[in-house]
A and B are shown apart, each in its own frame.
Chain A
Amino acid sequence: MPLEKISQVSGSAVYVPGDDIDTDRIIPARFMKCLTFDGLGEYLFYDMKFHENGDQKEHPLNDSRYQNASVMVTGMNFGCGSSREHAPQSLYRAGFRAVIAGNFAEIFFGNSINLGMPCVSVSNDVRNSIAEWVGENHSGQVLVDIKDLKVRAGDHSFTCDLRPGARDSLLNGAWDPLDELLEANQAIENINGGLAYT
């Protein structure tokens, strides 16, 4: 089945402030005891959202005004730490389809693109402007334009950045590389046979 060509993502947004938000915060390790990714949306940012007794903490994701958000806006070095794909999976399964951040940790970024979830980087000023706009327009639509590398919110248009390879793979519907990898059958066999080790 051909993959969807992703040239833009739009939806209401939520701002989750903070730099260096790590993968343990996005999905605490105890929720990774699972054989499928299916239920992970429920545990997104769990310990940020709930006290140990189960009571809700004050957190943007607990704010009813942002319940339908599908675009997350956040700080620098988002997704640092573990290689667990459980982190982007939990975002995706909680309904998020794009992340706007200062920048991203490498493995998290790759894992997200693999799911067809664009991660675009913006300057601090742009991030603050988007966050401010989102705070005033809770259900306003934020559009992440992969083609033009713009984030549009109301009358505003901001520049964002996405690595060319990742951008192309989203635009061309090639964000999951498996089919293309499988095609290189003979070339794979050549490397396999030519290596000094088995």
Chain B
Amino acid sequence: MTKQNLFEKVWDAHAVGKLQNGQTQLFVGRHLIHEVTSPQAFGMLREKNLPVRYPERTFATVDHIVPTNETQEPYSDPLADAMIKDLRKNCDDFGVTFFDTDTGKQGIVHVVGPEQGLTQPGMTIACGDSHTSTHGAFGAIAFGIGTSQVRDLLATQTMALGKLKVRRIEVNGTLNAGIYAKDVILHIIKLLGVNGGTGYAYEYAGDVFDSFSMEERMTACNMSIEGGARAGYVNPDAKTYSYLKGRPYSPKEEDWDDAVSKWESFRSDEGCHYDDVVKIDAADIGPTVTWGINPSQAIGIDESIPDPEKVEIQDRSSIEEAIEYMKISPGAPIKGTPIDVAFIGSCTNGRISDLEEVASQLNGHKVKEGIKAIVVPGSQVVSKLAEEKGLDKIFRDAGFEWRFAGCSMCLAMNPDKLIGDQLCASSSNRNFKGRQGSPTGRTMLMSPTMVAAAAITGVITDSREVFSA
């Protein structure tokens, strides 16, 4: 039998047929929706008088627009209020399960899927959100789609897609102390560029990914799209199965062994073909921070902001544009850059292990006066777990605000926004111009621990120097 990688196996198991335009009609076994990219799709279904083909394969939650400081409806923002009510009605009318705000299960769609056991190896998963690649951490092929494709999935459970190539990215060796999954993925994007992954799915592998927890794998897969790759995955293993065991939508005890052997069968075959292989040495990865306006504009904490005069001519204008927007100086060290806001949360780094890791280090440290620091758990489940462990108290005592679950200041569709040209040390995934709600707001991406270190010192800091003391 031909040796195949996981991507090819999952693809073949879900291919309905070839379309006229040469793309594949791909069956998507799990469809996740939220309030921002689904209302127009439901509108199109109503217009065409089409039902939802398999409502049991779609799950909804509300995340982008939910306020994190109020739970009472109507929300202060009438547009946000209209959106949550519209989603509620659509789910009701079409028979879709909705993890609403009163279920205890609401949260960021990419946090909710895995924690409910909806995300499993060998699946195809799609959602109208580019960070759907997160679910690839389980050995699923998961990708972001536009609203027309949300419509296609609701109506047919299938969509048109061209087959992707597969690039294996191996990170071998051992990470230095104080280096996190976020540093690894920022490093990968820095090396391969923001569009280096165009046309590819990334298979993450090697010692580092083998030793990562499921949540660390999710952090890395989450940002695949920031490197241009539509999907990113890790082959499933014992950690994957152990994470899934006993979750609400995971296979039940009597079906468990069958499920695991099926999941195992999706693993990439030894010696299978890859379209490209990249090898990275874990020892080369340090605490990594973005300085610019796309996630590949990143440097190690001990490095300096690039000087446009000293780079290749074709890179000059984008560096100049970024430096001007960020109001930073060429050649200056990134360390010591003053911040105004610290944000811990998002589908990249809003999970329980992220919060535990930071809380375990706070240890009497306080947020520097004048810095606004907020922690937004990725879901109600994360929030409850954290509160049971007393993490909320640790964060509050240190001077962080403890909020309700949602996407919050990652993209600022809710009231959590930067003001003016505030600079935010952020555990989120995008540092685009205006991303955090103010057209002149500035974002530096980093691990949650680095965000906490910046909150404490008031400047971009090597967390190892703050927390080792």
Chain A contacts to B: CB under 8 angstroms: 18-20, 22, 24-25, 28-30, 32-37, 47, 52, 76-77, 80-86, 88-89, 103, 105-107, 110-111, 114-115, 163-166, 168-169, 172, 174, 176-178, 180-182, 184, 187-188, 191-192, 195-198
Task: Verify B29–A114 contact, CB threshold 8 A.
Answer: no
- CB neighbours (8 Å) of B83 from chain A are 33, 35
Among B168-176, B194-202, B459-467, the stretch that binds chain A is B194-202
Number of A-B residue pairs having CB atoms within 8 Å of each other in the complex: 204
For A86, the chain B residues whose CB sits under 8 A away are 37, 147
With a cutoff of 8 Å between Cβ atoms, the chain B residues found around residue A195 in the complex are: 13-14, 27, 29
Q: B interface, how many residues as a size bin?
A: 35 or more
Per the bound structure, the CA–CA distance linking A181 and B77 in Å amounts to 38
B413 touches A196 (CB 8 A): no
Q: How far is the CB of A192 from chain B (nearest CB, A)?
A: 6
- Contact residues in B for A33 (Cβ distance below 8 Å): 36, 65, 77, 79-80, 83, 413
Known: A18-B321, A187-B17. A182 touches B156 (CB 8 A): yes
Residue B22 CB within 8 A of the other chain: yes
Q: Which residues of B are found within 8 Å of A168, using beta-carbon distances?
A: 20-22
Asked whether B155 lies within 8 Å of A196 as measured between CB atoms, the reply is no
B37 near A25 with CB under 8 A, answer: no
B335 contacts chain A at the CB level, 8 A cutoff? no
Contact in complex: B434, A25 (CB < 8 Å): yes
Nearest CB in chain A to that of B80: its residue:
A33
Is B25 in contact with A181, judged by CB distance below 8 angstroms?
A: yes
Cβ contacts A to B, 28 pairs, < 8 Å:
A19-B317, A20-B194, A20-B195, A20-B318, A33-B65, A33-B83, A37-B147, A47-B434, A80-B195, A83-B132, A83-B144, A85-B147, A106-B228, A107-B144, A107-B145, A107-B146, A110-B149, A111-B147, A111-B148, A165-B21, A168-B21, A176-B148, A177-B25, A177-B159, A188-B27, A188-B157, A195-B14, A195-B27
Which 3 residue pairs spanning A and B have beta carbons closest together?
A83-B144, A85-B146, A111-B146
Q: Within 8 Å CB of A28, what residues of B?
A: 434, 439
Given A81-B130, A192-B27, does the pair A20, B39 have CB atoms closer than 8 Å? no
Residues of A within 8 A of B248 (CB): none
CB-CB under 8 A from B13, the residues of chain A are 195
Interface presence of B53 (CB below 8 A): yes
Interface flag for B57 (CB, 8 Å): yes
Checking B21, B39, B145, B148 against A115 with a beta-carbon cut-off of 8 angstroms, the contacting residue is: B148
Interchain CA distance A163-B160 in the complex, whole Å: 14
Asked if A188 contacts B22 (CB within 8 A), the reply is no
Nearest CB on A from B325, distance (A): 11
